[in-house]
Amino acid sequence: MEPPADAPGALRGALRTAPAPVGAYRPRMTAEPASDDRLLAGRYALREVLGRGGMGVVWLATDLRLERPVAVKEVTFALHLSDEERRLLRERTMREARTAARLDHPSVTSVYDVVEEDGRPWLVMELVQARSLQEVIDGQGPLPWPAVARIGLDVLAGLTAAHEAGVVHRDVKPANVLVADDGRACLTDFGIATATGDPTITTTGAIIGSPSYMAPERANGQPPGPAVDLWSLGATLWTALEGHPAFARGEPMATLMAVVTEEAPPAPHAGPLEPVLRGLLTKDPAQRTTAQQACRQLQAALDEAQPAPWSPGPAARQPEPPQQVDEVRQDRVERIDAADLRALVAASATVLGTVARDARDQARHLAERRRERRAQATAREEAAAQESAAAQEQAVARERAAAQERERAVAARADQRPRFRFRRRWVVVPVLVVLLVVLAVVAGLVVLAGYLLGWS
């Protein structure tokens, strides 16, 4: 069940902003007066119709016992459902709404009570001032990534608390995220989207949800788990960053086919949040980013940037341009019949099978190319190694030759020095002998001359 897109965020539950007292805020639009005051369960006086949607009506009511304003959501079932389908949906709504009522977290709207009257469930929720994220996007367009990161952290905190309690939302989307004036956000419609969105193929033959934000495994008829909420959160953050849904195709089945078979287009305004979006929008739930991983990534982006605070601003809405055929709002809850769902599964299987075959062929081709490149690289490395080895051998040979040449030169010099000394010795000795002989002759002559002179 979902109120109209232009209904105020207060219709969808509560955003608790301690220490503000419960019921301190009023709705931001003129409500439709009820035809007459009606008492629900002997306690809740229905005053005004705040919004109508394809799955029910939201009322402004007064809790007569505690004397406080509340929002009451009347869950209605489609006319085409059988009595057995209505019974199953009613039981599931009551059971899971009671589970949601046990949730106590600042990022989750408070469900005060759940009652059954006129054969259908009524959920009583806290009523405070808040606008839905969809209204903020409609009024402001794409939001700055730091604001989207903070909203994502708040919603992840609420989803973590819900998943730990065994509750899967199954309808996370901008219309179900409430944003307060200080920028804090919380998730609403717990239990309602679970109850109305989880009749599986085996029970009612159809699934109910918002196609643009429905996880691929839900569109394929698989049992939903906590990972479906993380996909929906990724699609919600993508919408907040870009101002429009990532997979909207103007018609529910075409949108679901895009969800199942196509990758999300790039988000130019995502900035550092691009890895978070890519991880949350992973087709395989087993490979999808977990809540803890997404929290760490969002917080790291905020810690690094340290952006200024942001608020959603006034509720006044700027004039909107005329919508094109492919711009029709894609967050409405749609019922996908069994035949359509089987056709979608078969078509997606065919498309995915073709894609898989193409992917295998491409992978095989790429593998062959990689092997060729590796072989070429190995050949180049071997050739380079051989050239290097040859160059080293040549260098060693040159060094060896140079060393041998040096050795020969040294040996030659060593051989030349003794012969030179030997020749010089044989020249000097005769000269000395001749000199000695000459000196002896001269001395003899002197002695002889003196002797002769003495005799005379």
Other CB atoms within a 10 A radius of the CB of residue 365 amount to: 10
Q: Is 171 labeled as catalytic in the residue annotation?
A: yes
Report the range of poorest mean pLDDT among 183-187, 342-346, 363-367: 342-346
Write down the pLDDT at residue 330: 47
Higher pLDDT, residue 207 or 389: 389
How far is Cα 241 from Cα 147, in angstroms, rounded to an integer?
Answer: 9
Q: What is the pLDDT of residues 109-150, one digit of tens each?
A: 888 998 988 888 898 988 867 889 999 999 999 999 999 999
Spell out the residues 6+ positions from residue 272 whose beta carbon is closer than 8 angstroms to its own. Answer: 145, 301, 304, 305
Between the alpha carbon of residue 278 and those of residues 16, 220, 230, 283, the distances in Å are: 31, 20, 12, 10
Mean predicted confidence (pLDDT) in 232-256: 93
Query: Does residue 47 surpass a pLDDT of 90?
Result: yes
Between the alpha carbon of residue 330 and those of residues 130, 256, 318, 343, the distances in Å are: 22, 11, 20, 21
Q: What is the pLDDT of residues 287-313, one digit of tens each?
A: 999 999 999 999 999 998 877 777 786
Q: What percent of the chain has pLDDT over 90?
A: 32
Between the alpha carbon of residue 95 and those of residues 101, 279, 300, the distances in Å are: 10, 32, 38
Higher pLDDT, residue 177 or 252: 177
How far is Cα 218 from Cα 255, in angstroms, rounded to an integer?
Answer: 13
Write down the pLDDT at residue 384: 87
pLDDT band at 181 (very low <50, low <70, confident <90, very high): confident
Q: What is the pLDDT of residues 212-241, one digit of tens each?
A: 999 999 888 788 899 999 999 999 999 999
How far is Cα 233 from Cα 167, in angstroms, rounded to an integer?
Answer: 15
For residue 117, the one-letter residue type is E
Query: Does residue 106 surpass a pLDDT of 70?
Result: yes
pLDDT band at 433 (very low <50, low <70, confident <90, very high): confident
Write down the pLDDT at residue 319: 38
Higher pLDDT, residue 223 or 64: 64
Query: Does residue 316 surpass a pLDDT of 70?
Result: no
Global pTM exceeds 0.75 = no
DSSP code of residue 122? E
Candidate ranges 168-172, 233-237, 345-349, 420-424; pick with highest mean pLDDT: 233-237
Write down the pLDDT at residue 17: 34
Q: What is the mean pLDDT of the chain?
A: 77
How far is Cα 333 from Cα 195, in angstroms, rounded to an integer?
Answer: 13
Write down the pLDDT at residue 293: 97
Residue 345 C-beta-side C-alpha neighbours within 13 Å = 15
pLDDT band at 364 (very low <50, low <70, confident <90, very high): low
Q: How far is CA 259 from the centre of its chain?
A: 17
pLDDT band at 199 (very low <50, low <70, confident <90, very high): very low
Query: Does residue 325 surpass a pLDDT of 50?
Result: no
Query: Does residue 379 surpass a pLDDT of 60?
Result: yes
Tokens read off for 429: 């000795």
Instruction: Name the β-bridge partners of 56.
Output: 53, 75
Other CB atoms within a 10 A radius of the CB of residue 245 amount to: 25
Query: Does residue 9 surpass a pLDDT of 60?
Result: no
Mean predicted confidence (pLDDT) in 344-365: 52
Exactly one of 171, 189, 229, 331 is catalytic; which is it?
Answer: 171
Peptide bond preceding 19 in cis form (omega within 30 of 0)? yes
Query: Does residue 449 surpass a pLDDT of 60?
Result: yes
Write down the pLDDT at residue 408: 86
Q: Are 76 and 3 in contact (CB under 8 A)?
A: no
Write down the pLDDT at residue 200: 39
Q: What is the pLDDT of residues 75-91, one digit of tens each?
A: 887 777 778 878 887 88
pLDDT band at 182 (very low <50, low <70, confident <90, very high): confident
Mean predicted confidence (pLDDT) in 19-47: 60
Write down the pLDDT at residue 203: 45
Write down the pLDDT at residue 454: 78
pLDDT band at 107 (very low <50, low <70, confident <90, very high): very high
Tokens read off for 397: 């040979």
Write down the pLDDT at residue 6: 41
Q: What is the pLDDT of residues 138-148, one digit of tens each?
A: 999 999 999 99
Q: Are 194 and 168 in contact (CB under 8 A)?
A: yes
Domains and CATH numbers, the chain: 9-315+330-336 (1.10.510.10)
Query: Does residue 174 surpass a pLDDT of 70?
Result: yes
Mean predicted confidence (pLDDT) in 158-172: 91
